[in-house]
Structure 1
Amino acid sequence: MLAVITVGGWNILLTFIASFCFTFILQMLLPNKDGKPPNYGGIAVFASFWLGFFTMFPVLLFNSPQWNIFLASAIVLLTGIIDDYFELKPWQKTLGILIAANVIYFYTDVAFSSVLIAEVPAWLFDSLAYVLTIAWIYFVTNAMNLLDGLDGLVSSVATTSLVTLTVMIYISSLSIRLTLIMMLVLLAASILGFLPFNWFPAKIYLGDTGALFIGFMFATLTVYNLKNISIFSLIVPILFYAVPLFDTSYAIVRRFLNGQSMVERDEDHLHHRLLRQGFTVPQIVILMIGITLVFSVFAIFSQIYHQFRWVFIFLSGGLIVLLTVFMSRLDNK
């Protein structure tokens, strides 16, 4: 066990240093476009994460579910790179994400299990498991991408969610899956290595390249963790990703009610509204980290104190109501 911890610690450090170095090189080599920092920072996060993971688990190279997760994430990364360069149409970006999600479903052990939807008749199970898995991956991937509107926002919220999710899995699981824990921690390390260059004022952006990759990995690793546990636990990952999921859900409802396009970007997300109210970028990012921490603590406590778990779920629901009221008031200002 000590040897595993030692090797894991060195790989976490390697991942952080690799991400820092890759990002430094990228922001030096990539040209600024129209005076703005370059995109493609996600390449550094992707490369350092998988370098750290396969350095620790070389036996998983080429023939494992994790290798297929790597291939699927590479499809998402490539989709983001092309989008950052050519600005893909929404359906083209959607196609790339759905292809990657199907690779996850058919070629890995990542999918919603029968335990989670045991009440469903057998003939309907496969179809429902497929739809749930693909829809979850697609929605979370897009939610993280839509949140990427301020320097350091996605990087900070993502790291907070990853670290707290790792803590919850470690303290609440009867059997620890080492590969899952390390994937979560290494992903956090790769984002942390990138963050110094992405913090306000940013020298480089994640771009769709990085935001799509991070959202995709979030969604995939969450389903990975949900296999063979109770239906109640479906609620828990939503709490860890509450900030991007709430922001996206609110935007969808708002656009539907206003007759706006569901796929075009706009500047009416929570962080944009706070900017218009006079908040600075660092203040907004710190606020989002704080909200993420509150939801994450509720999620962790709901797993530790089972007898009070619905209390924490109701508290989370109350916080969502408060955020909704807050957003609606910003609508009227």
Structure 2
Amino acid sequence: MLYGIAAAAATLLLSALLTGVLRVPALRLGITDRRRRRPLPLSGGTAVALATVLVAAGADAAGLLPLGAGVGRMAVAAGCVALLGLAADLRRLRWWVAPAGTAVAAAFVVPYEETGVAAGVAAVGWIVVATAAFRALDHADGLAGTVGAVGAFGAAACATAELMDGLAALLGVLAAALAGFLLHNWFPARAGLGAAGALFTGFVLASSAVFVRAGQGVGAGAAVLYALAAIGCADAALVVLGRRLDRRAVTRGRPDHIGHRLRRLGLAPRAVPVLLGAGSAGGALVAVCVHTGRLSPGAAWWVAAAAAVLVLVLVRRPVTPVFRPRQRVASASSQVSERLRVRSG
């Protein structure tokens, strides 16, 4: 217990330090959020991944928090997914590259000896979907970090109930790394998570949930997996449904995610991650209770019903037009030129 607390504290401090130190290199290399009005360095993703892997690997090598072969393999695969996300932060990749890379990494992580081949393939598909859904949550200050930290605590509680101490330790370290990152990402954000951190976090959370439920009941397993990822699933459903209703391409980015629409309702920037973090905590609580047998798997339907209501309420909210800096600059220049021409005339 004492070693776990020390590892979490060290991870929090290391993540916060790395996020701040890597801001300048990220700006110089152009690793910034292209959706913002001002350049936001995406140093948080690298910081979260490095802090999590370094502390977990160091504690494992020292024998303080042994991870085990399966969890160690998952950490290595998550690091590879983070590198893929870093490539996506550096330059635009085709939409299918990240899911394909995640699927390859997940195929090496799923414990087929416990799940069986058919359920293992389904688990790979779930990891890909859940990871992509979590990546999409990185659209508002503090949102992905808050939901990720809450989800990590929920999955760690499930792992602890199964006496998977190595997995619980990795998830605790991840939660601490996200907490350190949030010191820079809370509104107004000074650093972002980016694809590297979002894919890393989503992959670890989804893979951990699969590890915890491997070899157990399918119905309860599906309930636990969904409840842990309820906010990400709700955001994905909202985006897909909204773009289909507007007859737009699903893969084309647009400010129509759950955080954007909540802001259109009048919520303050700091209220969005608090509200959705509370929703994620509710889903995690249901997941833990279902996993430990305190609730029946049908309790996940209440989580699904709440998510469905949220989606239906927000889906017809107007969407803010996409910000295009070049067009804005060109428009401003044309206005200045027009004023000068009128004055000279």
Name the TM-score, length of structure 1 as normaliser: 0.84
Aligned equivalents of 1:192 and 1:35: distance in 2? 24
Q: Kindly indicate whether the alpha-carbon contact (under 8 Å) linking 1:111 and 1:223 is maintained by their aligned counterparts in 2.
A: no
Paired AA for residue 268 in structure 2: T
Deviations 1:249-294 (A, max 9, x none): 2322333454432322221111111222322211111111121122
Q: 2:184 aligns with which of 197, 222, 238?
A: 197
* 3-state DSSP of counterpart to 1:31: helix
Please state if 1:51 is matched with 2:54.
yes
Please state if 1:282 is matched with 2:287.
no
Shift of 1:329: 4.8
Residue of structure 1 in register with 2:96 after alignment:
91
Shift of 1:205: 0.5
Deviations 1:29-75 (A, max 9, x none): 43275732211321110111011111221169999333322331122
Cα distance change on mapping 1:239 and 1:112 into 2, 3 Å: farther
Cα distance change on mapping 1:253 and 1:52 into 2, 3 Å: same
Residue of structure 1 in register with 2:139 after alignment:
149
- In structure 1, list runs of 5 or more residues that go unmatched: 115-124
Shift of 1:79: 1.1
Please state if 1:166 is matched with 2:165.
no
Q: Kindly indicate whether the alpha-carbon contact (under 8 Å) linking 1:140 and 1:219 is maintained by their aligned counterparts in 2.
A: yes
Deviations 1:195-247 (A, max 9, x none): 10111111110111111111111111111111122221321121121001111
Q: 1:27 aligns with which of 23, 29, 35?
A: 23
Alignment RMSD (CA, Å): 2.6
Q: Percent identity?
A: 24
Please state if 1:12 is matched with 2:4.
no
Deviations 1:285-325 (A, max 9, x none): 1111121122222333334564x525633422331232133
Deviations 1:72-92 (A, max 9, x none): 112211111111111111122
- Tell which deviates more after alignment, 265-274 or 180-189: 265-274
Shift of 1:168: 4.2
Residue of structure 2 in register with 1:120 after alignment:
none
Q: How does 1:263-302 map to 2 (within 5 A)?
A: 263-302=251-290
Residue of structure 2 in register with 1:118 after alignment:
none
Cα distance change on mapping 1:40 and 1:264 into 2, 3 Å: farther
Which of the pair has more CA radius of gyration? 2
Cα distance change on mapping 1:312 and 1:130 into 2, 3 Å: closer
- Tell which deviates more after alignment, 32-41 or 144-153: 32-41
* 3-state DSSP of counterpart to 1:131: helix
Q: Kindly indicate whether the alpha-carbon contact (under 8 Å) linking 1:144 and 1:154 is maintained by their aligned counterparts in 2.
A: yes
How many residue pairs get aligned? The number is 310
Aligned equivalents of 2:186 and 2:234: distance in 1? 23
Q: Kindly indicate whether the alpha-carbon contact (under 8 Å) linking 1:112 and 1:129 is maintained by their aligned counterparts in 2.
A: no
Please state if 1:220 is matched with 2:220.
no
Q: Kindly indicate whether the alpha-carbon contact (under 8 Å) linking 2:142 and 2:273 is maintained by their aligned counterparts in 1.
A: yes
Q: Kindly indicate whether the alpha-carbon contact (under 8 Å) linking 1:197 and 1:203 is maintained by their aligned counterparts in 2.
A: yes
Q: Kindly indicate whether the alpha-carbon contact (under 8 Å) linking 1:301 and 1:312 is maintained by their aligned counterparts in 2.
A: no
Aligned equivalents of 2:102 and 2:204: distance in 1? 12
Name the TM-score, length of structure 2 as normaliser: 0.81
Residue of structure 1 in register with 2:329 after alignment:
none
Please state if 1:246 is matched with 2:234.
yes
- In structure 2, list runs of 5 or more residues that go unmatched: 321-345
Shift of 1:165: 3.0
Paired AA for residue 275 in structure 1: R
Shift of 1:10: 1.5
Cα distance change on mapping 1:314 and 1:142 into 2, 3 Å: closer
Residue of structure 2 in register with 1:64 after alignment:
69
Q: Kindly indicate whether the alpha-carbon contact (under 8 Å) linking 1:42 and 1:210 is maintained by their aligned counterparts in 2.
A: yes
Cα distance change on mapping 1:262 and 1:130 into 2, 3 Å: farther
Q: Kindly indicate whether the alpha-carbon contact (under 8 Å) linking 1:112 and 1:226 is maintained by their aligned counterparts in 2.
A: no
